[in-house]
Structures are given as structure tokens and as C-alpha cells.
Amino acid sequence: MSSFLVAVDYENQLTDFYPDIDDEIKKEYFVGCSDFKQDVNFSQFDLKINDTMDNSNDATCSNENNFALVPVSTSPNSSIKSSSIDEAPRQCVVCDEPTKCYHYDVPSCTGCKTFFRRCLVTGKKYKCQYGGKCDIKKGEDCRGCRFERCLVSGMNAAAIQYPAGVNVEGILENVKQLKRKLIEDNRPIISKMLPTFSETEQRRDINFLLYLEAKQRKLRESEYDPTYLYSVKLRDLLERASELYLADKFEKPSHWPVDQNAIVKKLVEQCQRRKESKSETLSCEMEKKKKLFVAVDLILTVEMAKVLPAFNCLSINDKEVLMKHVVVVNMLLTQSFYSYQMHSDVIILPHGIIPTKLDQQLGRNNPIKWETHCRTVECVKRVALNPEQFVLLKAIIYCHPAVEGLSDEGRNIVDSYHQRYSKTLLQHLQNEMGSAAGASKFAEVISLISTYFHFADKAKQAHLIQVMQMGKERLNCKNKHILFNECMI
């Protein structure tokens, strides 16, 4: 997994940006997320989970993201770009000449703006004869180093108005590859500019969410099975330390994916033995040993929420009210997204079992469950969510302010972060796709919120039907799965 280096020291700055994460609860970096393909250098994170816990009209950019230029605010109400961007810049970040303008999303002079545009439009390539060691800020005239500084400083190639007939997509792809090569080759221009820049607030939020998501996925796709949490109440779980820091302590079982047909055969045999024994209390050894993924997914959804900055600002009452409202929504979204990434049309569990297929093979018919396991994935597939859009959508749902029972103070906090993540998603999409296309994509992604709240209601209905259909031998399920039953009401 190639990484695009983000110019920020997370070990020192995570605490500054997220003050609720203190030194005591920092932990070694999670390294087991190679299949969560993102061009983010996760190795710069050093985090253990808390015990509580001027825009261009057509600006777009690649996923590799620009280096940021200005300090950022930690306030949830702050804009995606720093408030200092409203002030006129003083120096060009490329050549250090005086300027009062932003060009292609960075403070730059007219000369560097024109030079950068001309290089891309004409396709001319310049190579430094001295290995990229020229100091443009001291007036050394090297077009190769100047162009590299334009790239590293974050000049947005997609913000340029290109002449008709120019292959814009080809240019943007070439710029993406050039940026990546600069990083991977460790060009001198990189080390010169790293101390100068910190990443944008937008990128920082996205990277933090991706980091937490990678931890959640590592636990989800491992032998981690917190049965000791099945019988706790939601409020008690919210007051416990988040377990995301355990991600490196568990591995993916070597026998995954399992053979579903073999499992069905064993289930049928055990059901037959149960009937022959005429005992309604005969335990099923397979059921004892199996990992209850729906419960694990629900728990991990709570565990991730406990680390979000918004939740650390809420009272325990507000945390409980909010989590009851959104936990099933984000659980379904997570299951759907990873099933989509596995190229499945229905929800598929990490060990390879497809619940709807299992129901069919066992002769169980639940139309509502079919809807929550099939249509959910269809929606993600239709919108074609990528990991960055996915984690931002989850964050927006986590911070859903329209919840009955929230205190006024809590609602204001949640709403401020809801707006923050919404603005981040919009800006990110517009940076990738352009203003109009990005806004259209934003509306498409945001429309999934109401859709998944609908699916969550359906999932709760399906759970109620399943409980009502339980035999006497499973009446003790209520005591064994207190947390799940509480959240599915």
C-alpha cells in the first residue's frame, strides 16, 4: 500500500487537535489495515483510545491531497479551510515573493500561477540538473525545482481553466503520479517544505476518521469476540474505555472464509438430533461456538463513537440518547460498505457467511431481513461510496442532531459537528470532482442518511419478529444479549 505523506506530526498534533485524547491513553500505531486502501501514511498516528472519550469555482484535487498551508482551528464550527484564509496572504509559497492573492488554492504570485498553468497545458517537462537541490526562494532559476515546489505546495491542477481540447483527466492523473513519485523518491524539495506546512483541517478530520475506521475493521475481521459485553447495558458500555486500541492484539482466523454449505449441513444434522431427542433445551454446540457478528458490529459501532471529539463533549445522558438513535444505522452502513468492497450484492460477514443465503438453505423466510441485507448494499453500490466518503457519512450520522431527548446543550454540540463533517464532505467532493459535480455527488451521498434510518427501522422490525418466533429454549436470550436487545428496540 503506497502512502502519500501528510505533512503533519500526529504524535504532537493529535492531542492539540483533539484535546480529549491525552498522553496516558496513546498507543502504538495500528498496522493491520493493508486492504483498507487509502493513500494516507497511517504510521504517523500514535493513538490509544480515550477512557471516555478561498475556493476555486471548479476546484478539484486528487485523493492524494494537497499539502496544507495555513494553521487550522479546532472549533467544530470552523470552516473547512482555516479562518486565516479569509485574510490576504503575504508571500508566495513557491518563490517567497510578495503576494496578496490565492491561485489554485494556495497563496501564490502571478508568476508562479502562470508558470504552473503553462507547464500543465503545454505538457513541457523540466528536470533539475542538480538533483532537486535548488533553492527557489533564494532566486535560483530552475524550472524543474520550481514546478516541484508548485506541486508540493498544493497547487490544485483541477482548479485551472484549461483550453478546449486539452485532456484534463490525463493531466490530473499525471499530476497525481508526479506527486506520489516526489514522496516515494524522497526528493530534497519534500524535506525542505515539510516543516513549513501542516495539513488542512479537512484532511486532518478525514485521516483521523480513516484511522479509527481501520482499527474498527481490524477488530471486525479478527478473532475478537467481546462476549463479556453482550450482557452489559448501553450506558455502562459508553462509560467503559473504548476497545479500539486492542486492534493489534487480534489476528484474522486462518480458517476464514468458511464453507457455508458445510455449516448448513451441520446445522441441519444438529436440528434433526434435537427433534429426535424431543428436547427443546438441547444446546447446539455450533451456536455456542459461533461468533455473533451482528452483536460484534453493534459493539464496534459504539466503540468508534466513543473516540469521536463530539461524543467527548456530551453528557452521559446525551451520549446514551444519541447512540440509541444512530447505532443501528451506522452498523448497517458499515456492514453494507464492506460487503460492497467484497463485491457482494448482499451483506456478507467477515468469515464469508451470507446470512440471507443461510436462511434460504435452512428454509427460513424473513422478507424484512432480505430488505435490510440486500437493498442496503444496493444503495452503497449505486452511490459508489469510497472509503473517505464512507467515513465522513458515518461521522455525519453519528452527529445526527434531530434526536428527541437530547439536551439543548448536547444538541448544539452535535449540530456543530454535524455541520463540520457535512462541510468537509462537500468540500472534499468538490475538490475531487469540481463544484457542480461535487455538489451533485454530495446530495447523492447525503440522501443515504434517510435511507439508512429507514433500513434501521426495518432491521428493528425484523429483530422483533425473530424474538416473537423464538422457542422456549431461547427465552434466556433476553438476559444474554441485553445490549443488542436494548439497541434494537
Grade residue 76 by pLDDT with cuts at 50, 70 and 90.
Answer: low
Grade residue 336 by pLDDT with cuts at 50, 70 and 90.
Answer: very high
- CA 364 from chain centre, in angstroms, equals 35
Q: Where are the alpha helices (DSSP H) in 342-480?
A: 355-361, 367-383, 387-398, 408-433, 435-468, 477-480
What domains sit in the chain, N to C, each tagged with a CATH number? 54-197 (3.30.50.10), 204-487 (1.10.565.10)
Decide if pLDDT at 46 tops 80: no
Tell me the CA end-to-end span of the chain in Å, nearest whole number.
41
Decide if pLDDT at 113 tops 70: yes
pLDDT average, residue stretch 338-344: 95
Decide if pLDDT at 44 tops 60: no
Choice between 11 and 169, residue whose per-residue pLDDT is larger: 169
Distances (CA, A) of 193 to 180, 250, 364, 384: 15, 38, 62, 35
Preceding amide of 355 cis, omega within 30? no
Distances (CA, A) of 489 to 111, 327, 332, 398, 456: 63, 12, 15, 18, 11
Answer whether 207's CB lies under 8 Å from 461's CB. Answer: no
Answer whether 340's CB lies under 8 Å from 381's CB. Answer: yes
Choice between 391 and 58, residue whose per-residue pLDDT is larger: 391
Choice between 423 and 34, residue whose per-residue pLDDT is larger: 423
What per-residue confidence (pLDDT) applies to 487? 94
Total Cβ atoms within 10 A of residue 399: 25
Choice between 348 and 89, residue whose per-residue pLDDT is larger: 348
pLDDT average, residue stretch 76-96: 60
Nearest to 204, CA basis, from 449, 437, 446, 428: 428
- Give percent above pLDDT 90 in the chain: 42
Decide if pLDDT at 391 tops 50: yes
What per-residue confidence (pLDDT) applies to 349? 94
Choice between 137 and 418, residue whose per-residue pLDDT is larger: 418
Choice between 137 and 449, residue whose per-residue pLDDT is larger: 449
Q: Which residues are CB-contacts of 259 (< 8 A; sequence separation ≥ 6)? A: none
Decide if pLDDT at 286 tops 50: no
What per-residue confidence (pLDDT) applies to 435? 85
Grade residue 58 by pLDDT with cuts at 50, 70 and 90.
Answer: very low
Decide if pLDDT at 117 tops 80: yes
Decide if pLDDT at 41 tops 90: no
Grade residue 416 by pLDDT with cuts at 50, 70 and 90.
Answer: very high
What per-residue confidence (pLDDT) applies to 184? 59
Phi-psi region of 419 (alpha: psi -120 to 50; beta: other; left: phi over 0): alpha
Name the DSSP class of 121. H
> What are the backbone dihedrals phi and psi of residue 91, each rounded to the nearest 5 degrees, phi first?
-135, 150
pLDDT average, residue stretch 159-180: 88
Distances (CA, A) of 457 to 193, 231, 325, 460: 51, 23, 10, 5
What per-residue confidence (pLDDT) applies to 14? 39
What per-residue confidence (pLDDT) applies to 293? 92
Choice between 15 and 5, residue whose per-residue pLDDT is larger: 15
Choice between 168 and 183, residue whose per-residue pLDDT is larger: 168
Decide if pLDDT at 283 tops 80: no
pLDDT average, residue stretch 360-371: 76
